[in-house]
Amino acid sequence: MKKTILIMILAFTFLSLNARAMNFKKVYRNLKGNHDFKMNDYENAQKSYEKNSVDYPNDENLHYNLANSFYKQNKYDEAMKEYNIALQKNNKSLEHKIHHNIGNLFFEQEDYENAIESYKKSLISKPNQEDTRKNYELAKRLLLQQQEQQNQDQSDSEQSEDQQDQQEEEVDQSQEEKDAESILKAIEEKEQEHMKKKNQNKGKIKTGKYW
């Protein structure tokens, strides 16, 4: 009985130590990643966060941190993937931050329409966010400018095409006029040649005997 109890105590102690070792490794990597991130060493921060996200895939905070390190390196596809994984965990205290950063990701790519939608989701999750509200308003203004510029570019393109068509028509018309002039000139030359021959025949003196 005592031996059984001893084995159980040892097993429990081993499991406790193993859990502590795992937690220590997780905390250490995360602290190292955070330190590297603050020092703008985003590549090494990414490495620490990646190891943690593989060993602890159900921790949304680790995926969020990894996404931020990708974002800082302009690895937008990788960042979006990790943000979406973090969102699946339904952590309400983290949700507004994720949507805010996704909004920034779209903003950096000048995709203002999707940026607006992400900022809106962030504000719904947590309304009193001054930075998110400012970004939301700025994205709306820039989207309007972008649409106006696109409309102007389209109008300029259509006008340029119209001018090109008009120039082509003028060239065709000019060529037709030249062709008509050439034909008329050729006809006139033939008529002049014909008249010249006719006049030459009239001026000829008939020779020979008259009976």
pTM of this structure: 0.66
- Domains of the chain, residue spans: 22-81, 91-150
Region 91-106: mean pLDDT is 95
Under 8 Å CB-to-CB from 140, ≥6 apart: which residues? 112, 116
Least confident span in 11-15, 30-34, 83-87 = 11-15
User: What's the pLDDT at 33?
Assistant: 94
* Residue owning tokens 């009239």: 202
Level-2 CATH architecture, domain 22-81: Alpha Horseshoe (1.25)
DSSP-derived secondary structure for 181-205: HHHHHHHHHHHHHHHHHHHHHHTPP
Residue type at 72? Answer: K
Q: What is the mean pLDDT of the chain?
A: 81
Q: Quick one: tokens of 129? A: 């966010």
Q: Are 49 and 30 in contact (CB under 8 A)?
A: yes
Residue 18 has pLDDT above 60, yes or no: no
Q: What count of residues does the chain have?
A: 211
**pLDDT tens column, 134-163:** 999 999 999 999 999 988 878 777 777 767
Angle between helices 76-87 and 92-108 (to 10 degrees): 160
User: What's the pLDDT at 173?
Assistant: 72
Alpha-carbon 161 to chain mean position: 27
Region 8-29: mean pLDDT is 54
Residue 16 has pLDDT above 60, yes or no: no
Q: How confident is the model at residue 210 (pLDDT cuts 50, 70, 90)?
A: very low
User: What's the pLDDT at 194?
Assistant: 67
DSSP-derived secondary structure for 73-139: TT-HHHHHHHHHHHHTT--HHHHHHHHHHHHHHHHHTT-HHHHHHHHHHHHHH-S--HHHHHHHHHH
Q: Are 114 and 122 in contact (CB under 8 A)?
A: no
DSSP count for the chain of H helices, then E strands: 7, 0
